[in-house]
Structure 1
Amino acid sequence: MSRVRLVPIVLIAIVALAVLFGGWQAYQHFNLLGPLKKNLQQVEGVQTVDILTGSPDVVQVQLGPFSKLKNGDLQQTYDDITSQVSSKLGTGVTLQLSDDRSGTLAQALENFNPVLLEGVTKGNYTEMISQVTHMAKSQGINCRVTMDTQYIYIQLAKGGHYLYKVMPYSTHQGGAAS
């Protein structure tokens, strides 16, 4: 009668799991994350990229000033970034944009929030953009607000500082229908 030796079986299982885990990590680094990071750093306006794997994956992107963005437009730069990220990592990835904001710009954005939210709620998009642009101009802030079907893109700059905000919005209101 043969005896099953437990220690060699456990050691073989541990070595096999270590090899599989190491192979997965190498695959992720060399075939997914490395090329994604390289591609993102080639997008106009991107200064640095940091990718944190987990649940969910987080892609942190440091953007440069307006003049460095694709055509000076946050929306075009953001579209390029999201298309690169979704092609490599799929959906469910958290994208975090970093900028060089000052207290003045952060306060201005906070002051613009009621106008932005009211514009989205009422559907007065052109009026909302006009009001935010006028408010920014009165404070000596360079402002650009654009939209697509999912997001409002806000760019603010004053002095050497700049702030970027991508706000999701939905035109579909919840509630009961009769």
Structure 2
Amino acid sequence: MMNQLKGKVILVTTIITAIVLFGGWAIYEQFVVKAPLEQAIMKVDGIIKADKPVRDQKTMSIQVELSPTANLKEVYTAISEQGKRMIGNRTLQLDVNNQEYERLDQVWEKSMFQIAEAMETRTYSTIPNVLEQLASDEIEVYTEMDDSNVYITLKDQNTALHKILPRVAEKLGVWTNV
């Protein structure tokens, strides 16, 4: 009888400890890491909407919707700077939700091979020329680069297609057409 009581006490104590530890970690994650980062993100000029950040061991992923006038590099840099404490040594992965715009998507799809080649061979200066040759007169092309990414924006009247391409070769496989 006494052994059964000890076993039940140990089991209940273990369950309560697990709940407190995991609950405390979840509360910390939400209120100390994600909430301040979400607030910082929404203050960045050009962001229309942002989903909750998703954090793992190596990356901090954030899905955002940008206005057509947003400067992609400035948005990325602002989030990196304002979220530096919360992101830590993780890589910021900004996933831009792009609407489907046939003309912009066509330019992007036609240029993907040449852009992938330029990224692989590190001849980044060819990217603006490739895009401008394939774009019509109504489509504006904006490209920028920093030490970790190439930022591409194609604009067509009131719409924009934003792409962030990592300058690390092994990450090239994660590009999508959307």
Report the TM-score, using the length of structure 1 for normalisation. Answer: 0.78
Higher CA-based Rg = 1
Q: Does 1:34 align with 2:32?
A: no
- Aligned-pair CA distance for 1:92: 4.4
What 5-or-longer segments of structure 2 have no aligned partner? 170-178
Change (3 A) 1:124 1:23: closer
Instruction: Output the aligned Cα RMSD.
Output: 2.5
Change (3 A) 1:114 1:39: same
Kept in 1, the 8 Å contact 2:144–2:151? The answer is: yes
DSSP-derived class of the 1:51 partner: coil
Give me the identity figure in percent.
25
Task: Give the aligned partner of residue 88 of structure 1.
Answer: 86
Moved over 4 A (4+): 121-124
- Which stretch of structure 1 is more off in the superposition, 123-132 or 108-117? 123-132
- Structure 1 distance, partners of 2:146, 2:22, is 41
Give the total of aligned pairs: 164
For residues 1-178 of structure 1, what are the structure 2 equivalents within 5 Å?
3=3, 5-51=6-52, 53=54, 55=56, 57-66=60-69, 69=70, 73-90=71-88, 91-92=90-91, 94-136=93-135, 138=136, 140-170=138-168
Report the TM-score, using the length of structure 2 for normalisation. Answer: 0.78
What 5-or-longer segments of structure 1 have no aligned partner? 172-178
Change (3 A) 1:102 1:81: same
